[in-house]
Amino acid sequence: MALFSFLDSIASLTPANLTIREATRLAENPLDLRYRAIFPRVPTDSIKLSSITTVDFRPIGGRREWNAQGREIPEKLGPAQNFEMVPINPTHHIDERMLQLFGESGVQELLRRGVIGDLNTWPQRLADASERQLEVEAFEAWFNGQITVMDPKTGVTVTVALGFDAATSYITAGTIWSDAGQDAYDNFLIALQAAQTKMGAIGAVRTRRAVVREIIADAPDGPNGLRPTFSTLQDRIREEGFPEVTLVIDERTYHAPTDGGSAHASANYVPAGKIAFQPQSGVVGNTHVAPVVRAYDFLQGANRSLANGVVIFRSEKNDGKTLLIEAQQNALALPDEQKTYVVDTLVTV
């Protein structure tokens, strides 16, 4: 009998059942992620991506003398981008001792309550981790114009800049918006107008609560001297000539690894002090998704299943004593420079 061949006899681990169960789980308790709407997934046949960004270029036609040549309008292109995806690949090992304990009553109770994971739940947990990785990278690329990758063994990080023009995409306030000499409400309207000038009608504004608090504090009183609230602030902004804008306070967090080991720390998807503006469509860029290919695919009995579009692999290690479960995506979320406008207000508390 092949090592771990008993896994194929467990109905809940077959590819079909894993996929069905994951669809049911997502319907009941969807992941609190946003990237799939803001960065819709598009398939690509290569892990290498090349693109040339558009720029904000609105020339006028000019005049000429009679019988003379008219003004030549040049093609204006942004910087070329070249990226190569590396896999998103969270893993989990279940050793021989834990496999043995899974059959004991005390451990089964922990499994039933979801305190620890088992053969059925770890594929879903890893798929979730893979999706959160894309969420983190999408928001870092959007808000900071860069992507940071950490080596899972050494903890060494490498940061890659997208090369966007900071003067037109990433604006930093000269003075913190909470300063006594600043009017955060007026600053916000100026930023909103600048974003609209660049990308057209604005549909949403995403930031942290501390920034919104400063904007509300400097907003003018409403009728009968009533101070604005978050709800009335949105109404006031619409009255200022931005009828489609929705304010989004985003305080969601995730747990980021801090080294090459098991240490993690809580972090926010949206950086402190920054405001990102979304066009009316809500779409800022795309998530480019390439196929996942493994040696398993060329062997008898393909060793893969799907969980929320994430490929799941399982294999044996240590002479069959350890079960390795893996999730993998070859995907990369990239914003469109023409749809990127972010302001750093410097407000952090």
Spatial separation of the C-alpha atoms in residues 243 and 237, rounded to whole Å: 7
pLDDT class for 346, splitting at 50, 70, 90?
Answer: very high
- pLDDT reading at 10 higher than 70: no
Check the CA dihedral 55-56-60-61 and report its sign: positive
- pLDDT reading at 307 higher than 50: yes
Average pLDDT, the chain: 85
| CATH 3.90.1690 holds for 5-53+77-344 | yes
Tokens of 231: 């709800």
Q: Tell which wins on pLDDT, 275 or 322.
A: 275
Amino acid letter, residue 88: I
Q: Looking at residues 245-251, what average pLDDT do you find?
A: 93
Tell whether pTM > 0.85. no
Q: Are strands 41-43 and 285-290 parallel, antiparallel or unpaired?
A: parallel
| 95-123 per-position pLDDT tens digit | 888 888 877 777 777 777 777 777 788 88
- pLDDT reading at 303 higher than 90: no
What pLDDT is recorded for position 5? 43
| 314-324 per-position pLDDT tens digit | 888 888 888 88
What pLDDT is recorded for position 2? 44
- Residue 70 has φ and ψ, to the nearest 5°, of -75, 170
Q: Using alpha carbons, select from 132, 131, 136, 133 the residue that is nearest to residue 146.
A: 136
| 45-96 per-position pLDDT tens digit | 888 887 666 666 778 888 888 878 888 888 877 767 788 888 999 999 888 8
| 283-296 per-position pLDDT tens digit | 999 999 998 888 87
Amino acid letter, residue 125: R
- pLDDT reading at 12 higher than 80: no
What pLDDT is recorded for position 177? 97
pLDDT class for 308, splitting at 50, 70, 90?
Answer: confident
Spatial separation of the C-alpha atoms in residues 151 and 260, rounded to whole Å: 7
Q: Looking at residues 220-227, what average pLDDT do you find?
A: 84
Work out the burial of residue 173: count CB atoms within 10 Å of its CB; fewer than 13 is exposed, 13-18 middle, 19 or more buried: middle
Q: Looking at residues 257-273, what average pLDDT do you find?
A: 91
pLDDT class for 23, splitting at 50, 70, 90?
Answer: low
| 110-169 per-position pLDDT tens digit | 777 777 777 788 888 899 999 999 999 999 999 999 999 888 888 899 999 998 989 999
Q: Looking at residues 253-282, what average pLDDT do you find?
A: 92
For the chain, the structural domain boundaries read: 5-53+77-344
Spatial separation of the C-alpha atoms in residues 71 and 260, rounded to whole Å: 59
Tokens of 188: 């916000």
Place of tokens 């001297």: 225
- pLDDT reading at 198 higher than 90: yes
What pLDDT is recorded for position 294? 83
> What is the per-residue DSSP string for 68-116?
SPPPPPPP----EEEEE---B--EEEE-HHHHHHTTSHHHHHHHHTTSS
What pLDDT is recorded for position 280? 93
What pLDDT is recorded for position 45? 87
- Residue 147 has φ and ψ, to the nearest 5°, of -130, 130
pLDDT class for 24, splitting at 50, 70, 90?
Answer: low
Spatial separation of the C-alpha atoms in residues 313 and 306, rounded to whole Å: 9
Q: Looking at residues 226-239, what average pLDDT do you find?
A: 88
